[in-house]
A and B are shown apart, each in its own frame.
Chain A
Amino acid sequence: MPARMVAVNRILEREQLAPHVFRIRVEAPLIAEERRPGQFVILQIDSEFGERIPLTIADADPEEGSITLIFQAVGKSTQQLAALNVGGKIANLLGPLGRPTEIKSFGRVIAVGGGIGVAPMFPIVQALKREGNRITTIIGARTRELVILESEMRSVSEELIVCTDDGSYGRKAVVTEPLAELCRSERLPDLVVAIGPAIMMKFCVETVRHHDIPVMVSLNTIMVDGTGMCGGCRVTVDGETKFVCVDGPEFDGRLVDFNNMLKRLEAYRDQEERRLHECRIEEVRE
């Protein structure tokens, strides 16, 4: 009897890139076939009580039928995901979700990736390069060991600038400093792409606001279904309510109300911290 067909979503490869940062390759033939840069998946570790979490697709191999996800194990669900080994299965995996990135020839592009945001940035920069764009990439991280995908990014960028907050690697700077400098040069970029923590994207937008340059950002708001049904992911863009899951995740950052978005990201902070705390207590007990 056929009954319920559940894709296997088996983990083919697992690698730790940095403290708390993992890269996994997951068997997902349908998603690998359809996905375009900029799209994401929603996954759930446990069908019964698990949380649905959105993760941007870092890469895909349609031949092999696999997708690559890079994530930071910060919450309980991502920690559970990090604990899965090769051969392990993700109970539910839905995608690809969101609108793909608009890939065309812009000219000169500055790509700013902060922390784990470098992961979704990579396929975008890769596709932009294929279209003949000249790309300068700025990677920012708190400290040296949190810099990820440096060589991958270097391979698709004309120039690569690495900054760390503590100066342990590359420049001691936040990403907006080289961004501002690059925008002071004679020839302004035609497009800035900024992906990273909401606060970083906000400041990237502010840094170039006085130039007339579009700043494409990829928003990581809270969502449940990821298909347009709950409205939890809504943001104010140019005074209008937009749903990140179906209208986004990419928007022109100049039009995004980041202050409201930052507050909305905190909606469940208390509860999440409590959960995480309980989960650490469990770990200690074990």
Chain B
Amino acid sequence: MSRATPELLEREATRLLNSIEGAELTRKQRLEIPQQTIPAQDPVERRSNMSEVTLGYTEAQARLEAARCLQCKNAVCVEGCPVGVDIPSFIQAIEDGRYAEAIAIIHRTNILPAICGRVCPQENQCQATCTVGKVHKDPLKAVSIGRLERFVADYERSTQGSGVPEVKPETGKRVAVIGSGPASITVAADLRREGHAVTILEAFHRPGGVMVYGIPEFRLPKAIVEDEIHTLERMGVEIRTNFLVGRTRRLHDLFDKDGYDAVFIGSGAGLPKFLGIEGENLVGVFSANEFLTRSNLMKAYDREHAETPIFQPRKVAVFGGGNVAMDAARTAVRLEAEEVNVIYRRTRTEMPARAEEVDNAEEEGVRFHFLRSPKRILGNEDERVVGVECLAYELGEPDDSGRRRPVPIPGSETVIEVDTALVSIGNDSHPLITQTTPELETNKWGNILTDENGKTSMDRVYAGGDIVLGAATVILAMGEGRKAAASIHELLTSDSDDSA
């Protein structure tokens, strides 16, 4: 498959842009502008490096893509965005070449545009409702909102560096934010902007949560996450690493000993789930979490420098069909596995992973086995994995999630020879905080229960992100954080009014 180079794409885009520059475009003309292809690293080349796969729009491409937007009055795209970014306005600013303004518009509601532009599932959110996609009768032909968001965030980073959002005068109130992933970052930023003192408490040695331990470099460069974290620090948010709430300090003590006025729990997903099948504790079976944490956070892919080892995969089976499964499969490819198989019990249509990531994985040589599910993992006398026995499935009636339920076909067992199995079927909720804080109510899966404002059963304690939702996405976590921050702010403001 031949790919257009960024240079070629830029030249073509510039030519088109010049031809329409200055003209008042009709709706028809806008709809005729071709959707811009995102430049990407060559699939063969990228198999052996950790660098980002997609390279981002060039300036001409971005302005051209922005010109595809019809500026709908009802802005259905905004309704699809969990944090309500003013999409038409920032796109208009890009079309006009007013990039600083475009980023300022996004920053009003989203502190992490460089990240969201990369990892949000826009095809299910803002782009799903886009009128342009509807006119073309293909949602994939929608305006590439995410890529535009990424373009303008990167443009700003490369020119003047991220600006520091304005912070109101100190209120004297203090908030502890547990965890430093997307939900927590949003809460920290929103509350700091209002003038509250915010401390982020992070268990790992590096802040960023799932964005540093889970999502690989080739999908989200760590330098971008660091930049976003620095923005928080420049706003005056304090970050304490190596601090595990539930162990280093109990939740109560954040109030009793440390005197915080409110706490937000954004501790994220917890214990990786396993299938509960025979052979799951053999040597060579890893949770996708472990495999990715070793590679990403501990940098084990850099074998020359990293002290943390990572299992050398040769033939790999990945169980699951979500974004984490794709990340694990593609990481295995980059660690020079000869063969990587994704085993998923439904079909491609039902895969929860983003279509773009599935395509990327396929281009990189990952093989997909649909309607298959592992029955047991086979080991040798050294308790090392030698294969996985799978059962074939067919799709039956729709289940609660609306997806057709996979039903096993008896006697359909086949064996795939592998030495590594990566289990990527989600996480159970993290038990540490709830175990050590009995009055915090949870559901039967251990997720913290909150009301519609993110408030938990405990006074002054709020929660959001995966610890409430179960496994979700960066942007949903941010949406939750936004709500919780608003109610925390309200609480702190009423405190001040009371004391006044």
Contact = CB atoms under 8 A, between A and B. Distances in A.
A229 B309 contact: no
Nearest to B303: A271
Contacts of A96: 247-248
Nearest to A247: B431
Contacts of A184: none
Nearest to B302: A49
B63 interface: no
Interface string A75-108: 0110000000000000111111100000000000
A280 B420 CA distance: 30
B286 interface: yes
Interface in A40-81: 44, 46-52, 76-77
Contact of A232 (B203, B241, B286, B430): B286
A241 B280 contact: yes
Interface in A239-286: 241, 243, 246, 257, 259-260, 263-264, 266-268, 271-272, 275
Contact of A34 (B241, B248, B283, B382): B248
Nearest to B242: A94
Contacts of A232: 286-287, 290
B306 A49 contact: yes
A94 to B, nearest CB: 4
B290 A227 contact: no
A229 B293 contact: yes
Contacts of B204: 225
A224 B293 CA distance: 8
B336 to A, nearest CB: 14
Contacts of A268: 309, 311
B6 interface: no
A231 interface: yes
B271 A3 contact: no
Interface string B468-499: 00000000000000000000000000000000
Interface string A1-17: 11111110000000000
A229 B271 contact: yes
A3 B270 CA distance: 27
Interface residues of B, number: 51
B236 interface: yes
A191 B63 CA distance: 74
A228 interface: yes
A235 B383 CA distance: 13
A280 B239 CA distance: 37
B432 A52 contact: no
Contact of B289 (A7, A230, A235): A230
Contact of B311 (A231, A246, A267): A267
Contact of A263 (B236, B238, B305, B383): B383
B199 to A, nearest CB: 8
B274 A231 contact: yes
A46 B272 CA distance: 27
Interface string B122-147: 00000000000000000000000000
B48 interface: no
A92 B248 CA distance: 14
Contacts of A257: 281
Contacts of B337: none
Contacts of B290: 224, 230-232
Pick from A30, A230, A234 the residue with the most CB of B within 10 Å: A230
A2 B240 CA distance: 10
A76 B305 CA distance: 12
A2 B307 contact: no
B334 interface: no
A118 to B, nearest CB: 25
A49 B203 contact: no
A207 interface: no
Interface of B: 203-206, 213, 233-234, 236, 238-244, 247-249, 269-272, 274, 276, 280-284, 286-287, 289-290, 293-294, 298-299, 302, 305-309, 311-312, 382-384, 430-432
26 contacts: A3-B238, A4-B233, A4-B238, A5-B239, A6-B241, A7-B242, A34-B247, A44-B205, A48-B305, A52-B298, A77-B307, A95-B244, A96-B248, A224-B308, A225-B213, A225-B293, A227-B203, A229-B293, A230-B287, A230-B290, A230-B293, A230-B294, A231-B274, A231-B286, A241-B281, A264-B281
Given A94-B242, A246-B432, 13 more contacts: A1-B233, A4-B239, A4-B240, A48-B305, A51-B298, A92-B242, A225-B204, A231-B287, A232-B290, A246-B431, A263-B282, A263-B283, A268-B309
